[in-house]
Structure 1
Amino acid sequence: MSEFDRIILVLREDFGFPFSSRFAEKMLDLWFSSQGYCYTGAHLRNLPWMIAYFGPTESIYGQYIGSDTELVRAIIKQVSGARITPEGQLRHDGTGYFNLKLQCLHHRMTEISAEGMLSERMTLRVMDFSATNFAGEAPALYEKKIRFDPERFERLIHTAPERARRNRALLDLARQVAEKWRPTTHGDNA
């Protein structure tokens, strides 16, 4: 997980908001628990998006989603009781209950050239679970098609160490999560 900070950088850019480290931790934890690394469509070049794809359906309440984005406009228009703070954080206005959750779904690969070049994408969806616990009944408030850009991720990986700005807190978090999922060995019990 030596690239986790870069994975999160890519996902925050693609999602359009700087989701929290706790949100990132839940994605990585579910990646391990669901064994997303065994998915035949997952590989090093699409790792950021695969971690999101295998991530949980997660509440966006309290997340800093911006102040003037398509997502914010959809929430303000469709969700009574929602307000956005001046800092861009999604909060209650005190008048009602809402339960908005984000999920990534519909991973697709399409061949785009005779040489076998692939284009990959997935859908980021925000749904309103205020009146139901069932995804099939929760209305979608916002959808965004995310086209994978493996070259962008690869450029980040190959950034010279003296130019790279690494997020040590995210790297430490990734080590802790990975350690939790590391298989234990039952060698000699001396």
Structure 2
Amino acid sequence: MYIFKLSPSDSTYYDIDKNIVEYKTEKKYPYYRSRKDSDDFSQFAVCPACSNPIQIIGLYTAHKPYARHYKNNIPGLVEYLQENYDFCPLKRKHQSYSAKVRKQKVDSSVLAIIRVLIENFDKVIYFVQKSIDIYISVRLAKDMLNYYFTSKGYLYPGSTLLNVPLMFAYFSGTYHLNGRIIFSESLKESLKTKKFVSFSENKLHTHCDLSFCFRNHSISLIDEHNLQEKLIFSVAWRNEMGKIENVYEKEIEFDPIYCRRLFQYKPLNETEKQKEHRNMLRNSAFQIAQEFGFMVGESAL
């Protein structure tokens, strides 16, 4: 892998570069540790995906240094967790994912995922809305978050701090489209060809059982280091015979770098209406998390 973070609870990660590593660690313990067989030092950090120990290889000798998992605890820095390692998407041969499988316990990495989701809930909703070009109201956002917690999406083995918005979408449920504001021209055109919908401006009207969901999470490691994740946004309806037919689908390819920038972005020149909407989303997220037993915000997880 070519990225690292400084602690298991961090949601921010950095590129593995000599100057960046030195600046972020100050070349100090527990990141720099002396070797037993020499006067030299080894460099350690934390995997941004599974929050396990990693060792940085070739920081001062290689043209392109990288990191690999380190299967031991690093005192003062991070504990090694086998289950997290087994499913880590940055592991060359990780265990396959199933939407029905969940991790056995809520550990520090899971709590960090929940905290990042809740504290950035307005931005997560922005990501989903931008990906599908459908307006997500506060009520719909709350329904989606309730479904996420009920289905324990945070315990899905493929859920990491790198893909929080994508996994929220994946475990957000299925919802009717009637009455929703649709901006996607391609989706509108696909629906119009079926002749069972109408639009007043961008608002959809239909008497059919027409709904959307997210499915088919896939993940692959390109060139053994670069992560590629995808979801399918799917729209389907139940016909007169009761059979479900796909109407429209769109592949969503997740960009973790975009996600990192989105979470770091601070809104500028907001209108009062935009600020109110954003605050309503965040406040709703804090309340729902507490209802499910997770204290976020002023109370640490």
2:204 aligned to which of 90, 95, 98: 90
The question of 1:145 aligning with 2:256 is answered no
Instruction: Give the corresponding residue for 2:283.
Output: 172
Query: Which amino acid in the other structure matches residue 237 of structure 2?
Result: D
User: Identity, % of aligned pairs?
Assistant: 26
- Aligned mates of 1:158, 1:180 — CA distance in 2: 27
For 2:147, the equivalent position in structure 1 comes to: 30
**Larger C-alpha radius of gyration, 1 or 2?**
2
Bigger relative contact order, structure 1 or 2 (CA pairs below 8 A, ≥6 apart): 1
Matched AA of 1:83: S
> Taking structure 1 as reference, are residues 4 and 162 closer, same or farther at Cα in structure 2, changes over 3 Å only?
closer
Gaps of 5+ in 1: 185-190
Which residue of the partner structure matches residue 293 of structure 2? 182
Match of residue 73 from structure 1: 189
Deviations 1:44-76 (A, max 9, x none): 22111111101111111111012x611101111
Aligned length: 172
The within-5 A match list for 1:1-190 is: 1-66=118-183, 69-80=185-196, 82-86=197-201, 88-92=202-206, 97-114=207-224, 116-131=225-240, 137-159=243-265, 161=266, 163=268, 167-182=278-293
Q: Which runs of 5+ in 2 are unaligned?
A: 1-117, 296-301
Partner of 1:187: none
Aligned residue for 1:74, secondary structure, equals helix
Shift of 1:19: 2.3
CA RMSD of aligned residues (A): 2.0
With structure 2 as the length reference, what TM-score do the two structures score? 0.54
Shift of 1:125: 0.5
How far did 1:79 drift?
A: 3.7
1:130 offset after TM fit, Å? 4.2
